[in-house]
Amino acid sequence: MTYAMYDSQLSPFSARCRMVIYAKGLDIEIKEMPGAITPEEFVRLTPMHKVPTLTVGEAVIPESQVICDYLERMHPEPALTSSDDLVQAQIELLCRICDLYVMTPLGQLFGQVNPQSRDDARVEALVADLKKGLSWLDHYLGDGAYAIGDKLTLADCTIMPILFFVQQLGPMLGHDDLLADSAKVSNYFKVIQADEHAQRVMGEMATALQKWQKSQ
């Protein structure tokens, strides 16, 4: 089966999928958007018009978590999930907290980066929501070098790219360190960077962020 993934290096959702691909050593063509195909062709491919989107032969799979779960089922080694149901529930919980309670306010904060159009009251409300989500993540996060247990899981692939954005976005909005109030999360983000796959994805995101900043 031939795979390809339409990708944006800056997107934490795309980064999640790339980290899974790298960790599993999968032969998947990464097609950077915009530019890989025209917007019209992309809409015909997937009316959601969002990255990441994985193609499997003629089939099309959008949504990052669905893509990661599919790749885990099709390529179970090395495992990024757990056969222990309780541990697996913890992995899924961390992913859920990140997507609903960290990424939701974070995505809205990204729209407040421009100081000319910024709504300061809105920023402070969103920062409060973000810090609340980070505190919940802090509560359930494991104590080791990885989010849960002693090896890379889908939780790390989800959390690390989002925390990269949290760290980078804070200074743009007048907040030096948005991770400071969540000690466990802050320490985790420092430690996870020793993982080779996390390093690779962070490097890609940093390069993409620099390009985006120059274009503004």
* pLDDT score of 137: 98
* pLDDT score of 212: 87
Environment class of 187 (CB within 10 Å of its CB; exposed 0-12, middle 13-18, buried 19+): middle
Crossing angle for the helix pair 154-172 and 12-24, to the nearest 10 degrees = 140
Interatomic CA distance for residues 35 and 46, integer angstroms: 15
* pLDDT score of 214: 84
Q: What is the mean pLDDT of residues 30-53?
A: 93
Average pLDDT, the chain: 95
| Domain boundaries, given as residue ranges, for the chain | 3-74, 85-197
The correct CATH number of 85-197 out of 3.30.70.890, 1.20.1050.10, 3.40.50.300, 1.10.287.130 is 1.20.1050.10
Question: 87 pLDDT exceeds 90?
Answer: yes
| pLDDT-above-90 percentage for the chain | 91
Interatomic CA distance for residues 175 and 55, integer angstroms: 39
Question: 94 pLDDT exceeds 90?
Answer: yes
Question: 53 pLDDT exceeds 90?
Answer: yes
Interatomic CA distance for residues 105 and 162, integer angstroms: 11
Place domain 3-74 in its CATH homologous superfamily.
Glutaredoxin (3.40.30.10)
Instruction: Render pLDDT for 144-180 as a digit per residue (tens, 0 to 9).
Output: 899 999 999 999 999 999 999 999 999 999 998 999 9
Instruction: Render pLDDT for 186-203 as a digit per residue (tens, 0 to 9).
Output: 999 999 999 999 999 999
Handedness of CA 36, 48, 168, 182 (dihedral sign): negative
Q: Do domains 3-74 and 85-197 have the same CATH topology?
A: no
